[in-house]
Amino acid sequence: MELKADHLGIGYSGKQIAFADRLELNTGQLTGIIGINGSGKSTLLKTLEGNLRPISGEISIGDRSIMDFKQSELAKMMSMVSSRSSISSALTVEEIIRLGRQPYTNWFGKLSKTDKRIVEKAINTLQVSNLKLRYFDRLSDGQKQRVMIARALAQDTPFILLDEPVTHLDMYHQSVVFDLLRKITRKNNKGIIFSSHQINVVLDICDELIVIDEAEIYQRSVQHWLEGDALKGLFPSDHIRFDEATRRFRLK
């Protein structure tokens, strides 16, 4: 399945902050979004999720505009992991992950056998089964992030969008999360799109890369980015340079 955007202008209250001629995201692909602070990474994710109206252009899933989806139908196509959200401290990890099944349950939210199996699978994939009965606010940042990814996985959508999933994590837990994202993309055939400031890691693990630079949004394969000169201009050159030999951004 494809998540596509054509002539997409994104922004708030009628003011465009960036424009993408064409984006094409596929299931089974891991896509990173990079760009400096304020470039519009979160705005792009929110627009793709359908939480923010595009200024112009159209977003579609499998050739059907997301405007034509009901909220409940869209919830079966895309799930998200937000970077800033106040989760109630009065919910257990298991309750939160089960909430992911909401688009599929009846009005009373009763989980069927299938629902329970999918929840259990998500819990195992993210290795949070030992946390099941813990309250969310008692978890470490790394555990919280794994729980929220498990919830998104339980929602069982072709696409998962994550806004800066590793921001508060130390290097070890960053690599744990990145590893999981890569694994889920391959094993569960998900289209995962995430924004991050960890450019070097993004270059290592992603298939596709979306770069937001000076109000323009470009999508190319990582290979394509590495071969051209495009990455060199991403940051002002006074402090950071791109070292082609090691495929790494370095401090000058």
Partner 1 sequence: MTVLLLLMFFTNISLGSVGIGLLETMRILTGSEAVNASHEYIILKYRLPKALSAIMVGCGLSISGLLMQTLFRNPLAGPYVLGLSSGSSLGVALLVMGSGLLGSNIAVFAQSKYAVVLAASLGSFSVLLLVMATLWRVSNTMAILIIGLMIASFTSAIVSVLSYFTSAEDLQQYVFWSMGSLGRLDWQDLGILWTLLMMGIFIFLYLLKKLNAFLLGEEYARSMGVDTKQTRFLMIVVTGILAGSITAFAGPIAFIGLTIPHLARQLFSSGNHFILLPAILLIGSLVMLLCETIAQLPGSSFVLPLNAVTSFIGAPIVIWLILKKQKLIF
The minimum distance between CB 69 and partner 1, in angstroms, equals 10
Using the rule CB under 8 A, is 100 a contact of partner 1?
Answer: yes
Contact segment (CB under 8 A) with partner 1 among 26-34, 53-61, 91-99, 236-244 equals 91-99
Using the rule CB under 8 A, is 95 a contact of partner 1?
Answer: yes
Using the rule CB under 8 A, is 82 a contact of partner 1?
Answer: yes
Q: For residue 57, what are the CA distances in angstroms to 4, 25, 99?
A: 11, 16, 32
The span from the CA of 10 to the CA of 45, in Å, is: 10
Comparison of 29 and 82: residue with beta carbon closer to partner 1: 82
DSSP 8-state class, residue 155: T
Q: Contacts with partner 1 in 132-161 (CB under 8 A)?
A: 135, 155
Comparison of 105 and 188: residue with beta carbon closer to partner 1: 105
The minimum distance between CB 76 and partner 1, in angstroms, equals 7
The minimum distance between CB 204 and partner 1, in angstroms, equals 28
CB-based burial label for 26 (10 Å; 0-12, 13-18, 19+): middle
The span from the CA of 58 to the CA of 69, in Å, is: 13
Those residues whose C-beta lies under 8 Å from the C-beta of residue 84, and which sit 6 or more positions away, are: none
**N- to C-terminal Cα separation, the chain:** 42
Q: What is the contact surface with partner 1 in residues (CB under 8 A)?
A: 49, 51, 71-76, 78-80, 82, 85-92, 95-96, 99-100, 102-103, 105, 107-109, 135, 155
